[in-house]
Amino acid sequence: MMMIAMKTETTVTKSSLKNIKAGLLVLPFSVKSLKKDAPKVLGALGLNDRALKDFKAAAGDTLLFYPGGAGVKASRVLLLGIGEGAATEDYRKAGTSVARQAATCEVQSVAVDASSIVEWSARSALSLEDIAELLTGSILNATYRFDRLKSGKMEKDKKKKKASYEGISRLIFRVNAGSIKDVEKGTVSGMVIAESQGVARDLVNLPGNLLNAVDIARYASESAEKHGYTATVFNKDAIDHLGMGGLMAVNKGSKEPPTFTILDYNPGEKSKGTVALVGKGVTFDSGGISIKPANGMDEMKCDMAGAAVVIATVEAAARLGLEYRILGFIPSTDNMPGGAAQKPGDVITTYSGITVEVGNTDAEGRLILADALSYAIETYKPDTIIDLATLTGACIVALGYGVAGMFSNDDNLAAALYDAGQVSGEKVWRLPLWDEYDELIKSEVADVHNTGGRGAGTITAAKFLQNFIGDHKHWAHIDIAGPAFSGKAGAKAHGGTGFGVSLLLDFLRNM
């Protein structure tokens, strides 16, 4: 069940702008360079510069020209604003605007004039490779569409049905000769990151009837075989034999078996350390016996976004050849209210031996993460361990839909993840793990309770997980409940966002 993604060919050239054949030729300008450079560039291409009165060059601003009889081989010319060109967000906004204009015009080849990339680098303190990666990644990520489940049978215009827009198939960067190698490196890494984000988005967007725990394990195994890392899959009997009481308990109400998948990218002797990533893989969360309200339950197919991010990140790490051993741990099941389902008040024994009183069966993600965290630390002894999960609605209440909550017992790790969020645009905000919150998850009949009451819900969930890392000193928990999925209301791109892939890759590449 390999994901079906459109492949984009990237090319870096020093050809003159006039000779580049493309559906869309993009001319980026900063606010500072607009008045000085834009009239000369447009004049050289035979285009009238009077339209510059309507263009301010703020990041993401665009102005479209149709060259007509001008001496340009491109079908369209797009002025693109990069604002001050001093921040990563300037280039990310610019790339997103290019993708949207390409989709509006339904062009498949886009050429970007990056002949000023050395100046952009000096202004932003970003390397040429970084800027090329940012532009490539943001352009390709913004072209993402999930429409593979549409049959087209309801499309009245048959011609339109046959000629539906499939995205950008060719992306060209025009640079000066001295910049070619750096920009080529950046376009390659940008493409890998965008494609990996697409993998995560595809997995999240597949509905529960087309993606269960076995399917997740199957995709991970296919990815491992294709990209040169290993995948080990534990079936239900093996999970039971391991004593993973949390995962087995959540699975009790389901007719679909659980899986526990371990991914292992190992660069060998050049490895600088081991990082373990743990992702929550609940393929559909009904809430179990503590069933969720009907409104919005259809979006609970996204409750495996943490697992999707882990798979995509390990895949990207292998493709990029990172110098760390990256392990991925994916406990996966759905959470259903069947006749055999776990009940509020049940007490379960987790892999670690810690007993848990289940106060609410909709607090299931922490139960399966508890098993995976304990197993990963005990068996592989990673230097750093990070878990990602769409864990609590309380995190959305605290931070909204654009930012993830972060918890860590390591100040340096927390700072590195925060910095990675600022650079990648996938922002995280640290919340406390103070001891007084432990009081909220005390149980009278077991070692710990899986809920902590109405207040501080995202914090008590993190405190619950902290019980299962033992004395490990370098752990972080990232609650991606808000940014992992864009709902229908007001969303520019409905569905999975891939949030966490860029964050983790930036962190891993800058450790």
Mean pLDDT of the chain: 94
pLDDT tens column, 457-467: 999 999 999 99
Whether residue 338 is predicted with pLDDT greater than 60 in this model: the reply is yes
pLDDT tens column, 387-422: 999 999 999 999 999 999 999 999 999 999 999 999
160 belongs to the catalytic site: no
Q: Where are the alpha helices (DSSP H) in 52-205?
A: 88-105, 117-124, 128-142, 158-162, 180-205
Question: Rounded distance, CA 313 to CA 474, Å?
Answer: 19
For residue 165, the model assigns a pLDDT of 72
pLDDT tens column, 103-115: 999 999 999 999 9
Q: If residue 499 lies in a helix (H) or strand (E), which one and from where to where?
A: none
For residue 459, the model assigns a pLDDT of 98
Q: If residue 319 lies in a helix (H) or strand (E), which one and from where to where?
A: helix 305-320
Whether residue 499 is predicted with pLDDT greater than 50 in this model: the reply is yes
For residue 160, the model assigns a pLDDT of 56
For residue 152, the model assigns a pLDDT of 78
Q: Of 276, 262, 278, 282, which is closest to residue 221 (Cα–Cα)?
A: 262
Question: Rounded distance, CA 93 to CA 28, Å?
Answer: 12
pLDDT band at 20 (very low <50, low <70, confident <90, very high): very high
Query: Could you give phi then psi for residue 237, rounded to 5 degrees?
Result: -65, -40
pLDDT band at 166 (very low <50, low <70, confident <90, very high): confident
Choosing from 292, 343, 430, 509, which is the catalytic residue?
292
| Whether 91 contacts 135, CB under 8 Å | yes
Per the DSSP assignment, residues forming a β-bridge with 174 are: 13, 113
pLDDT tens column, 351-380: 999 999 999 999 999 999 999 999 999 999
Query: Could you give phi then psi for residue 290, rounded to 5 degrees?
Result: -85, 65
| Whether 367 contacts 348, CB under 8 Å | yes
Verdict on whether the full-model pTM lies above 0.85 = yes
Whether residue 490 is predicted with pLDDT greater than 50 in this model: the reply is no
Query: Could you give phi then psi for residue 283, rounded to 5 degrees?
Result: -70, -25
Whether residue 3 is predicted with pLDDT greater than 60 in this model: the reply is no
Choosing from 92, 123, 218, 366, which is the catalytic residue?
366
Q: Where are the alpha helices (DSSP H) in 170-263?
A: 180-205, 213-227, 236-242, 245-251
Average pLDDT over residues 231-254: 98
Q: Pick the residue with more confidence: 152 or 273?
A: 273
Q: If residue 407 lies in a helix (H) or strand (E), which one and from where to where?
A: strand 404-408
| Whether 256 contacts 214, CB under 8 Å | yes
pLDDT band at 201 (very low <50, low <70, confident <90, very high): very high
pLDDT tens column, 294-324: 999 999 999 999 999 999 999 999 999 999 9
Question: Rounded distance, CA 478 to CA 469, Å?
Answer: 15
For residue 57, the model assigns a pLDDT of 96
Q: Which of the 8 DSSP states describes residue 292?
A: P
Average pLDDT over residues 145-158: 79
Q: If residue 280 lies in a helix (H) or strand (E), which one and from where to where?
A: none
Whether residue 131 is predicted with pLDDT greater than 90 in this model: the reply is yes
For residue 164, the model assigns a pLDDT of 65
Enter the tokens of residue 30.
């900063």
For residue 148, the model assigns a pLDDT of 83
356 contacts: CB under 8 Å, gap ≥ 6 = 246, 347, 348, 349, 350, 367, 370, 443, 446, 447, 448, 449, 450
For residue 491, the model assigns a pLDDT of 43
292 belongs to the catalytic site: yes
For residue 68, the model assigns a pLDDT of 75
Enter the tokens of residue 122.
């000096």
| Whether 22 contacts 110, CB under 8 Å | yes
Place of tokens 């697992």: 307
Average pLDDT over residues 70-96: 93
Whether residue 193 is predicted with pLDDT greater than 70 in this model: the reply is yes
Enter the tokens of residue 296.
């919005």
Q: Pick the residue with more confidence: 4 or 342?
A: 342
| Whether 307 contacts 204, CB under 8 Å | no
Enter the tokens of residue 363.
């607090």
